Structure 1
Amino acid sequence: MSRAPGTSAFERTLDRIGTDIVDGGLPAGTVCTVDELVDRSGHSRSVVREATRVLSGMGLLASKAHVGHTVQPSSSWDWLQPRVLRWALASGRRESTLLAIRELRTATEPESARLAAERRSDDDARELRVTSEALRAAAVRQDPIAFLEADLLLHRLIRRAAANPILDRVGDAVDEALRDRVDQLPGDGIDHHDAALHTDLASAIEAQDGERAAATMRVIILRTA
């Protein structure tokens, strides 16, 4: 269930240059002019300029008048940007990126689940229950698109119930990891035990059992990250 690349000229240009940077085709320290990036991407100067502005905002490029656009080291990149993660997961950095995301999830998601159990409203509990049921039904049908939609929503609902905007900031990284996992599903499809764990997680949050919610989330991460 691979996602299609961007369809507009801007999105294609952004993806082309971003992918080249993340995958090492444009190594750190490389200085590129707009004309060089026009040749590389095949799109107009105005489109390339807009793409370089976005890439500079992500920390991939540093732009300086009369010099050009300098590729920045990976330590400068905004790794919580969904596109940066997507490019990394599709590149030679895939395994190290998956490990980094797993470490991030292990450090933050159990705490989000615990806080959600403590702070959830009745509406939060109801939405989590309904979403976990939808996720389980998608697993029974072996419907990866519906499974992904329910999985993403469940994790977003947990972050919302946790009511911590800083923890919520890492949500894009979690979402990319979940999308990637569904893209990489094995031939035997969705594991019903994974779906059951999400039902247990929603149940623990509804019961306001923070320790059980956190423990269940840890198991989910170990099985899915």
Structure 2
Amino acid sequence: MSNSNSSALYPDRSLHSRVVHELGSRIVKGRIQPGETLPTEPELMLEFDVSRSVVREATKILAGKGLVETRTRRGSVVVPTESWHLLDPDVISWRYRGAANLTDLIDLIGLRHVIEPAIAGLAAIEATESDLMHMRLLFDELTKSGDDSTRFAAADRAFHKAIVDSIDNVLVRHLYELIGVGLAELRSMAIKSELHGPQNIVDHGLVLEALEARNPERSIEAMARVVAVSRVEVMEFVDSNTRLESTVVQDD
């Protein structure tokens, strides 16, 4: 199986991998737009202090991820977003790590709204007693996190992953793993929102209670509420940051 379809991130220890990650991030973040060409080989060799073969290998890897294509007399051209391998783990990482754009966030929230309630419904049927005990321990950690946002984020991430891991569907688990970087970014934003508060823990508790009751319908509804509230929190966080940045620009 090629790297573009693997769940593993491309290693960043070699010379050409450094070029891959930097150029990939520039493309996905929009610093190099579709239709634009990458810097020439001599320019990239100078910028990264690498050989021509390293630059060519990096370009080949980016092409394998669907980000660029080589055209005669034009060099490597960034292709439209629709052609990117959007479930490639590196593309996901470049897309959501750090400052993701609003459209990307909305797309990811929409995907989360589709899959997480359905996963909870399956977990209500398929989770073992051991799985449920593990979820209970993680929920207890969630309740003990208090105002420690880092601790809350870790417990929250582990709680949701435990639900996913409890279902007997390797494809769903694989998909969830692929979008893990983006989900972590979403949760980080939600937790930083001024709307985030104790009710969030209550909502997670309702998910756990529904799972323990082996009630798929309640589990779906409870998880749908968690995701919906998270969406509101993320949008509030983005909006407040946008207003702050606007104020800073005006002050300057």
How far the C-alpha of 1:53 sits from its partner, in A, is 4.4
1:101-180 pair list within 5 angstroms: 101-138=108-145, 140=146, 142-171=147-176, 172-180=178-186
Residue 195 of structure 1: aligned partner: 201
How far the C-alpha of 1:93 sits from its partner, in A, is 5.9
> Hey, what's the Cα distance between the residues in 1 that align with 2:183 and 2:82?
20
How far the C-alpha of 1:189 sits from its partner, in A, is 8.6
Contact persistence 2:120–2:219 (CA under 8 A): yes
Contact persistence 1:136–1:199 (CA under 8 A): no
Residue 242 of structure 2: aligned partner: none
1:9-88 pair list within 5 angstroms: 12-32=18-38, 33-39=40-46, 41-45=47-51, 48-49=55-56, 51-62=58-69, 68-88=75-95
Contact persistence 1:13–1:43 (CA under 8 A): no
Higher mean Cα deviation, 169-178 or 144-153? Answer: 169-178
Amino acid at match of 1:146: R
> Hey, what's the Cα distance between the residues in 1 that align with 2:169 and 2:109?
20
Uncovered stretches (5+) of structure 2, i.e. residues with no partner? 1-10, 232-252
Superposed CA offset, 1:44-88 (max 9, x none) = 236545543443343212358997433221112222344433433
> Hey, what's the Cα distance between the residues in 2 that align with 1:173 and 1:123?
26
Identity of aligned residues (%): 26
> Counterpart of 1:170 in 2: which secondary structure?
helix
> Hey, what's the Cα distance between the residues in 2 that align with 1:174 and 1:91?
14
> Hey, what's the Cα distance between the residues in 2 that align with 1:92 and 1:143?
23
Matched, 1:206 2:212: yes
> Counterpart of 2:192 in 1: which secondary structure?
coil
TM-score between both structures, scaled by the size of structure 2 = 0.72
How far the C-alpha of 1:120 sits from its partner, in A, is 0.6
Amino acid at match of 2:108: I
- Root mean square deviation, CA, Å: 3.1
> Counterpart of 2:179 in 1: which secondary structure?
helix
CA change 1:58–1:210 in 2 (3 A) is same
Contact persistence 1:129–1:203 (CA under 8 A): no
CA change 1:190–1:162 in 2 (3 A) is same
Uncovered stretches (5+) of structure 1, i.e. residues with no partner? 1-5
Amino acid at match of 2:134: E
Superposed CA offset, 1:137-185 (max 9, x none) = 11x1x22222222222222211111222222233132552233431564
How far the C-alpha of 1:214 sits from its partner, in A, is 0.6
> Counterpart of 1:162 in 2: which secondary structure?
coil
> Hey, what's the Cα distance between the residues in 2 that align with 1:165 and 1:184?
28
How far the C-alpha of 1:28 sits from its partner, in A, is 1.9
Residue 3 of structure 1: aligned partner: none
